[in-house]
A = this chain, B = another copy of it.
Amino acid sequence: MKRVKLIVAYDGTNYSGWQIQPNAVTIESMLNLHLSELLGEPIRVIGASRTDAGVHALGNVAVFDTSARMPAEKISYAMNTRLPQDIRIQDSCEVAADFHPRFCKTIKTYEYRILNRRFPDPTRRLYSLFYYYPLDVENMRRALAYLVGEHDFKSLCTHKEEVENTVRTIYEADIQKDGDMISIRISGNGFLYNMVRIIVGTLLRVGSGYYPPEYMQELLAAKNRQAAGETAPPQGLTLLEIRYL
């Protein structure tokens, strides 16, 4: 028996997110299906990050146990001949039997992309949010800087009954503008439900002049979801990387 770690990239457009649900096609269900067929035994993966419907990933992580003889390194190639084109394993390797993708310390990095121009671009619509009104990127950068460090992000997440501790640490947060594409990258030790998308929804309000950048301090102190902006739509969000410490 060995434990295998997969780095999984996917275009989330056509999936109901990561997690298995009845009557829906999810990334987890596709991995279980094709791993079970490939290895000839029932496989159940454990995912590192349960991304929402429509969210993309370049480096999500899944782990499973198998008694199959296939070398771990070959599983990526074998799986890529079976999976649909919108899911591609980027790497596979053996890990320690006690490695757990969610209970280890990690740095996760997300990117959210906003296409800020006059008309939508059909060739970028699936991987960014189209936003018509001009955005003040400098003010968005100043607002974003208030989030770096350890904070209670209760104002910036969707409430979940089972989550008691809403304190998280953001290590790095950056915003870049390249032509008409604004990219926001955020790295942290963990993210609450919808946290990146609510941060982005709030930054959109800052960028369009509705909130001043300093409002972020007030918002963190408020510990009230109603004080933040909307949840930005999923297609702009990509889980870039999960780094295990």
Contacts and interface: CB of A to CB of B under 8 A. Distances in A.
Interface of A: 9-11, 56, 58, 76, 80, 85-91, 118-123, 125-127, 238
Contact of A86 (B56, B91, B125, B238): B125
A219 B90 CA distance: 38
B238 A9 contact: no
Contacts of A10: 122-123
A88 B120 contact: yes
Contact of A87 (B91, B118, B122): B122
A60 to B, nearest CB: 11
A238 B58 CA distance: 24
Nearest to A8: B122
24 contacts: A9-B119, A10-B123, A11-B122, A11-B123, A11-B125, A56-B122, A56-B123, A58-B121, A58-B123, A76-B119, A80-B119, A80-B120, A85-B122, A85-B125, A86-B122, A86-B125, A88-B120, A88-B121, A88-B122, A89-B119, A90-B118, A90-B119, A91-B119, A123-B238
A58 to B, nearest CB: 7
A10 B120 CA distance: 10
Nearest to A118: B90
Nearest to A117: B90
A158 B124 CA distance: 30
A86 B122 CA distance: 5
B85 A9 contact: no
